Amino acid sequence: MKKLCHILWLGLMLVAATAQADVVLVVAENSPIESLKRHDVEDIFLGKAASLPKIGKVTPLDRNDEKLREQFYTAYTGKTLSQVKAHWAKIIFTGRGYPPKTVGLDELKATLRNNPTAIGYMSTEQVDDDLKILKTN
C-alpha cells in the first residue's frame, strides 16, 4: 500500500511537470550568446536596450502563442501581458522603439538558424538539437 502510494505520487509529480513545461530562451547553435542575466532578458524583451555588452545588437522574437507568451513574461519579467502592453505603449509613444516581431514556432526556428543574434523562447519539448538553450541567472 505504501509502495503504491509512492508510485502514484511519483506519477502525479511527472504529470504536473509535463503540464508545466518550462519556457526556455533559445538561440542558434553557433550563436555567440551562451548565457544571459535575468536583467539582460528584461532589457532585450522590454525594449530597454538594443544591444548586449560584449555581444552587440540582438534581435528578440516574440511568439503568437498567447499562453506561451504569458508564461514567458511572467517567468522572466514578472509582468502580466497587460503590464507588458502598457509598458510598450510607453516606449512606442515616446518614439523609443517597437516591440519584438511576433512569429510562430516554425518561423522562429527558421529565423534563429539564419541569424546568430536572434533570441527566441519556446517550451522545452519544442527545442531541436541544432538550437541552444540559454542559461539564465
Partner 1 sequence: MTQMLSYKVLALSLVLIADLAIAEEAVLPTEEAPASYEANYARGFSDVFKFSGFGTLGVAGSDNDRVDFISNLTQPNGAGYTRDWTATLDSRVGVQLTFLPTDKFSAVLQVTAEQDWDNSWNPDVEWAFLQYALTPNLSVRAGRMVLPLYMFSEFRKVGFALPWVRPPNEFYNVPNHTVDGLGVLYQRRFGAVNYTFYGTYGEDDSRFPGDVHSKAREAFTLSNTFEYKDTSFRASYGRAKLTLEDLDDFFAIYRNFGPEGEAIYDEFSIRDREYSQLALGVWHDPGKWFAGGEWSRGFSDSFIQPGDSWYITGGYRFNKLTPYLTYSKTRRDHGTTPHLSGPTLAPLNDLLFTFVGPIRQSTITVGTRWDFAENAAFKVQLDHIMTEENSNTLFTNVQPNFDEGDSVNLLSLTVDFVF
CB of 103 to partner 1, least distance (A): 13
Q: Which region among 4-12, 14-22, 111-119, 123-131 touches partner 1 (by CB under 8 A)?
A: 111-119
With binding defined as CB under 8 A, does residue 137 bind partner 1?
Answer: no
The whole-angstrom separation of Cα 34 and Cα 116 is 11
Closer by beta carbon to partner 1, 5 or else 95: 95
With binding defined as CB under 8 A, does residue 43 bind partner 1?
Answer: yes
Beta bridge partners of 122: 24
With binding defined as CB under 8 A, does residue 53 bind partner 1?
Answer: yes
Using CB under 8 A, pick the residue from 24, 112, 117, 132 that binds partner 1. Answer: 117
Using CB under 8 A, pick the residue from 92, 102, 104, 124 that binds partner 1. Answer: 92
Tell me the residue ranges of DSSP E strands in the chain: 23-28, 35-36, 51-52, 56-57, 59-63, 101-103, 118-123, 131-133, 135-136
With binding defined as CB under 8 A, does residue 95 bind partner 1?
Answer: yes
With binding defined as CB under 8 A, does residue 110 bind partner 1?
Answer: no
With binding defined as CB under 8 A, does residue 104 bind partner 1?
Answer: no
Centre a 10 Å sphere on the Cβ of residue 131 and count the other Cβ atoms it contains: 19
**CA torsion 7→12→13→17, rounded to 10°?**
140
The whole-angstrom separation of Cα 8 and Cα 89 is 48
- Judged by the rule CB under 8 A, the positions of this chain that interact with partner 1 are 32, 39-40, 43, 48-51, 53-59, 78-83, 85-87, 89-90, 92-96, 98, 101, 114-117
